[in-house]
Structure 1
Amino acid sequence: MSAASLALIADQLLLVERALRVQGWWEASAPSAQALASEQPFCVDTLDFSQWLQWIFLPRMKAIIETGADLPAVSGILPMAEQVYGADSREAAGLLKALGDFDRLITAGR
């Protein structure tokens, strides 16, 4: 993936973080190590979706970009967010847009 594409993805991750902060869904304290260690997809048994985004998804994606590791071949974060918040949620509209744009950037990079 080109440096320009990686920069776009990094910028998109910042927009996801911004959307979480704007909604007041950004937390100052991390969940317990046990909650973060869940083996369920999206840690559905231990975390809210916004917590999963903040404490699992964003750090993993940032680490992948910083280390030059391979990005996922596809991303399906938006459908999960739509399931959690509702596809037409006004409250989560900014977050849904940011996640949809992220999904498209990942797919376009392949």
Structure 2
Amino acid sequence: MSGTGDVTGQVADCLLGIEMELRKLDMWAVERPPIEAFDSTEPFCIDTLAFTQWIQFVFLERMKLIVENGHPLPRVSGIAPMAEEYFRGRQESGRGLVQELEAVDQLLSGS
């Protein structure tokens, strides 16, 4: 069985992979959305941010802080299904991004 440090390192690798996939898809934003966009009460800030913006500016930023500061990792994650839904019917498949998110989901959920 893997130790916590091993899982944390694997999560950190996945976070880099997520960033790389967003860049490959040309969905990595250079500018941060306005602060008001983060005041949403909807899941994934779906009413104020594109899903990929939420990944970049909410999920990645929070997860990087958790990893860098040695805080306990979340015990559950289910972001990949949302990514699959986001890319359904879009020109971009987003498959690489979905795979990276599935890996994080599995690591955090302990499966």
Unaligned runs of 5+ in 1: none
Give runs of aligned pairs for residues 36-51 of structure 1, distance below 5 A. Answer: 36-51=38-53
Give runs of aligned pairs for residues 1-110 of structure 1, distance below 5 A. Answer: 2-86=4-88, 91-108=93-110
C-alpha deviation, 1:108, in angstroms: 2.1
TM-score by length of 1: 0.90
Root mean square deviation of aligned Cα: 1.7
Q: Name the CA distance, whole Å, in 2 between partners of 1:31 and 1:71.
A: 26
The percentage of aligned residue pairs carrying the same residue is: 41
Q: Name the CA distance, whole Å, in 1 between partners of 2:39 and 2:15.
A: 22
2:75–2:110 CA contact under 8 A, matched in 1: no
Q: Name the CA distance, whole Å, in 2 between partners of 1:106 and 1:24.
A: 27
TM-score by length of 2: 0.89
Report the AA paired with residue 24 of structure 2: V
Q: Name the CA distance, whole Å, in 1 between partners of 2:72 and 2:41.
A: 22
Count of aligned pairs: 108
Q: Name the CA distance, whole Å, in 2 between partners of 1:25 and 1:54.
A: 9
